[in-house]
Chain A
């Protein structure tokens, strides 16, 4: 049972363009939504994260948009660069009780290629 669905599976963008990756979740108890970035041969690393009390979070060229009523969130990469080429995973967790167990449910992943 895939509780977090991610799309598209792959994405090709020209340098300077906007990359958009979407995720939808089912479990309304999820209260933490991070995005992880993975380069070939490496483990994923946290890129940016949001909690459902805000609708948007921006860090540099990376923005998460969050729609609680639609149970959807997305990652926008502005001014995409070839160095952004990587696999991106959305994820979600339920931190009931205020303790972070890191027990994340991941989406299927999106392979982003930014052409120079």
Chain B
């Protein structure tokens, strides 16, 4: 059981480039989300999805796009990378099956924008 898989693990981009961070889960979870982790800031929610075809913005959505075409996949797109997007990105999923189901996190993608 792989859980939540994120690729790539590391990425370096130049300002203005675009890229997609991949996230896949094999637990049939309805809820998926993207967080970014910055020192002293904790984890901040970028976008989330409560099911295929449904997405919504979190706390820091600017500069990012998401889509959810299947239950398993929830890619995060950086449209035009900026140095302020240098961060560690985590994808997480959970089930609606039980109240307060825990978030299951991937191991992150470390992104550097130069």
Give the interface of A toward B (CB within 8 A): 2, 4, 6, 9, 32, 34, 36, 41-46, 49, 51, 89, 93, 95, 98-109
- Among candidates B4, B96, B103, residue contacting A104 with C-beta atoms closer than 8 Å: B103
Asked if A43 and B100 make an inter-chain contact with CB atoms under 8 angstroms apart, the answer reads: no
Interface string of B12-44 (1 = CB under 8 A from A): 000000000000000000010101000011111
Interface string of B33-65 (1 = CB under 8 A from A): 101000011111100101000000011000000
> How distant is the Cα of A42 from the Cα of B96 in the complex, in angstroms?
24
Identify the closest chain B residue to A107 (Cβ). B42
- Interface contacts (Cβ under 8 Å), in number, total 78
Asked if B31 and A102 make an inter-chain contact with CB atoms under 8 angstroms apart, the answer reads: yes
Restricting to B91-105, which residues have a CB under 8 Å from any CB of A? 92-94, 96, 98-103, 105
A sample of 20 inter-chain contacts (CB < 8 A) reads: A32-B100, A34-B100, A41-B107, A41-B108, A44-B43, A44-B90, A44-B103, A51-B100, A93-B100, A99-B99, A100-B96, A100-B99, A101-B94, A101-B96, A102-B31, A102-B92, A102-B101, A104-B103, A107-B42, A109-B40
Identify the closest chain A residue to B99 (Cβ). A100
- In the complex, what's the smallest C-beta–C-beta distance from A89 to chain B, in angstroms? 6
- Among candidates A49, A100, A106, residue contacting B43 with C-beta atoms closer than 8 Å: A106
Asked if A106 and B44 make an inter-chain contact with CB atoms under 8 angstroms apart, the answer reads: yes
> How distant is the Cα of A101 from the Cα of B107 in the complex, in angstroms?
21
Interface size range of chain B in the complex: 20 to 34
- Known contacts A9-B40, A34-B102, A46-B103; decide if A103 and B45 are in contact (CB<8 Å): yes
Is B106 an interface residue, CB under 8 A from the partner? yes
Asked if A101 and B50 make an inter-chain contact with CB atoms under 8 angstroms apart, the answer reads: yes
**Which 5 residue pairs across A and B have the least CB separation, nearest first?**
A43-B105, A46-B102, A102-B94, A106-B42, A106-B43
